[in-house]
Amino acid sequence: MQNIRLFGTDGIRGVAGKDLTPEFSLKLGLSSGHVLMKDKKKVILGRDSRISGDMLSQALASGLMALGIDVHDAQVIPTPAISILTVKYAYDFGVVCSASHNPIEDNGFKFFDSNGFKISDEDEDLIELNLEMTNLIARSSGVSVGKKYDFSEAQNLYVDYLIENHPLNLENFSLVIDTAFGATSKVAPEVFRRLGAKVVVVHGEFDGNLINVNCGSTNPQKIQKLIVENKANVGFAYDGDGDRVIVVDEKGEVLNGDHLLAIIASNMINSSRLLKPTVVGTVLTNQGLEIIFNKLGVNLLRVDVGDRNIVQALKNQQLLLGGERSGHLVIMDKSVTGDGIITSLELLNALISSGTPLSKLKTLLNEYPQGEINHRTVKKHEILHNPKLQEHVEEINKELGIKGRIVIRASGTEPMIRVMVEAKENEVIKPIINRMMSKILEIEEE
């Protein structure tokens, strides 16, 4: 893996046992501990429910303990919980072994600094540099090596934090939730039930053979059906590590992250909580959201795809709310990273405040039609920077003018090129996508 940069837009990812081996994870523990360790010499470690999670996380823990760092093992827990608990209990840093919504054979590592933010590019670079020279990193010995502590209580502490920060009365709500056999399987139902909601759970066990497989945020079809059958108010579909959510209304219709931004921002305005009138989106944020924000007196600040880019903009400009269409939302006064359960609670708060069904609130946003296609290729960067492709994109954007746009980018987490076309008229989208794919394949074969 070390011929190219290891860290992508969301940590390190790869195929477990191939790209991410126990040997690599041990070195990563040594390197990350050397770079990120502070005075306390204690780290919180969590993982999602993937089969390889134990193997990889414990190998990394061994590297940390070899430096005299104590590892508090929170076991299977949502990624955002590690960010929150790192700050709350003053850890030097936090680590999560997860590949988020990726296939079951993948895994990865995400690192959070002592303030709960994903670590900086500079720290990532230093970790990569030190991976090449772990034999030079000084080790502890004898009784000075680090110890591992069972911190499974972290799940309950995270649940308590969510309830304390969102003391909602959900007695009139019926919810259907899909936890994707992942890290939210225990905590999400607990939160909603303790707040009074009636909860139907699907895919609600830890299962490393099934995490994200035809379920969760990328496949909400199951809860679309169950919502109607159970006459529920809302459905929430989480990904494997719980940092994003896709929402379904009472009619079984799906809401993406742009809908959530529109509804939550509007509620924040009504409650005088959005003190600075700017919300952060990405290059993929629907043009329709920009239009509704203009009507609300709110600016849309676009950044590159990736929740770390959103968080950086929120942090730099001291803003409150940002998010992606994928369901990654960040609400900075609750958590400094994407948290699917917090997003769900914020949406429920908006529903309570408005007294309006979600299907009606959804109409705040009149979306432009969008079409997307993904192409798997190991040449994603070479293709993306090819002058022929750039000329082709420029030509299409000129054709579309103010009636639409095209965005082509390399995935930050997978060997893939992603193409998105947005236009006022739906019928122009597919031909443009086909033209783009033809050009990509032509360049790939050169």
What is the set of active-site residues? 100
Residue 239 marked as a ligand binder: yes
Gyration radius of the chain over CA positions = 22
Those residues with Cβ within 8 angstroms of residue 299's Cβ, 6 or more apart along the chain or in another chain = 277, 278, 279, 293
Residue 243 marked as a ligand binder: yes
User: What are the tokens at 267?
Assistant: 């509620």
| Secondary structure (DSSP) of 116-162 | SSBPPHHHHHHHHHHHTTGGGSPPP-GGGS--EEE-TTHHHHHHHHH
- Break the chain down into helix, strand, coil percent, rounded to 5: 40, 20, 35
Answer for the pair 101, 6: CB distance below 8 angstroms, yes or no. Answer: no
Q: What is the DSSP letter of 16?
A: B
Q: What is the rounded CA–CA span in Å between residue 14 and residue 106?
A: 5
Q: What is the rounded CA–CA span in Å between residue 291 and residue 279?
A: 13
Residue 241 marked as a ligand binder: yes
Closest CA to 49 of 26, 24, 29, 77: 77
Q: What is the rounded CA–CA span in Å between residue 354 and residue 361?
A: 9
Q: What is the rounded CA–CA span in Å between residue 271 and residue 252?
A: 28
CB atoms within 10 A of CB 397: 13
Annotated binding site: 100, 239, 241, 243
Annotated binding site for Mg(2+): 100, 239, 241, 243
